[in-house]
Amino acid sequence: MAPEKHCFVKQTLASLAHSPNQLAVDKVTNSLYFSFDSGRAEYLPASLKIETRKLTILHGIKDAFAIASDEANSEIYFGGIHGIYRYNTMTKTLRRLVVKNLDIWWLILKKHLYFVRFPSLKAYCYKNRSVEPVRQLQNYTVNQFVFDGDNNIFFINGSGLFGIKKDKSEAVLLKDNPKFLCMASDNLGHIHLCAEDGIYIISKIVLKVKKVVNVQGVLGMTFDSENNLIYSDSHEMVRLLPIPTY
């Protein structure tokens, strides 16, 4: 089970009029990547140096909403109504993947690139320049999904939180209340979820969902290079730094 942390220092990283609800961190540079609503019906991709708070708008990516990090290759993927873009954080180069007719709702990388299409909310995998359904999720609508450290799948939709063991194909309902709005895996493979009343974690032993942070209005989550939780709400992005216990 993941260690429990109860007391944190709240560190505001940035304040935005329209905060993002999907976040990713490049662990090599410890930079936060996200897309935010410009207020002009378009999402703008950006990066934020966590330690210096330097904010940079990324050009060449059109209206990207979803985001994922490839930690092994220092690459960030952006997805939206124009498909999927791959941005290399070291070389500052951008490439659009050769996939057509995709409107991306959610992105995640686990060896291969996975995504949820909109408006069908069906899950797919992109590999070898081809797109195919995720077999274990093909019978379900999926708002978001992640893999834990053991390659089990967890996903959320309008009915609740579900889990699928890596060698199984049937989803098990884990919790239907509260309603979970977003999810993320930390650096150790522990699954975190946010609801209107706080942030939860899934125990790997008995698959029990337990609240670990009392904070309201969370839209998106990720973790920095030191496994500190970063979240966004309606007006800012915040990092939680644990208070040492002696």
Task: Average the pLDDT over each of 18-32, 100-114, 183-197, 205-219 and give the range with the smallest value.
Answer: 205-219
Is residue 173 within 8 A of residue 187, CB to CB? The reply is: no
Core vs surface per residue 164-182: b (16+ CB within 10 A) or e: beeeeeebeebbeebebbb
3 state SS of 61: coil
Please tell me the predicted confidence (pLDDT) of residue 193: 97
Give the distance from CA 17 to its chain's centroid. 21
3 state SS of 21: coil
The DSSP output letter for 244 is P
> For the chain, what is the mean pLDDT?
91
pLDDT above 90: percentage of residues in the chain: 74
Whether the model pTM is above 0.85: yes
Taking the domain 19-188, which CATH number applies? 2.120.10.30
CA-closest candidate to residue 87, choices 46, 120, 125: 46
Reported as a single tens digit per residue, the pLDDT across 15-27 is 988 878 899 999 9
Residue 191's beta-bridge partner residues? 185
The contacts of residue 41 (CB under 8 Å, 6+ apart) are none
Task: Return the amino acid letter for 65.
Answer: F
pLDDT above 70: percentage of residues in the chain: 96
Burial of 201 (C-beta count, 10 Å sphere; 0-12/13-18/19+): buried
Task: Return the amino acid letter for 60.
Answer: G
Q: What DSSP letter does each residue of 108-148 carry, written as one string?
A: EEESEEEEEETTT--EEEEETTEEEE-GGGTTS--SEEEE-
Task: Return the amino acid letter for 180.
Answer: F
pLDDT-derived band of residue 189, with 50, 70 and 90 as boundaries? very high
* Separation of alpha carbons 19 and 169, rounded Å: 36
Tokens 């935005």 label which residue? 16
Please tell me the predicted confidence (pLDDT) of residue 50: 96
Residue 24's beta-bridge partner residues? 33
Element (H, E) at 190: none
Reported as a single tens digit per residue, the pLDDT across 197-226 is 999 999 876 678 999 999 999 999 999 999
Q: Which two tokens stand for residue 150?
A: 């053991």
* Phi/psi of residue 226, nearest 5 degrees: -100, 10
Higher-scoring residue by pLDDT: 3, 12: 12
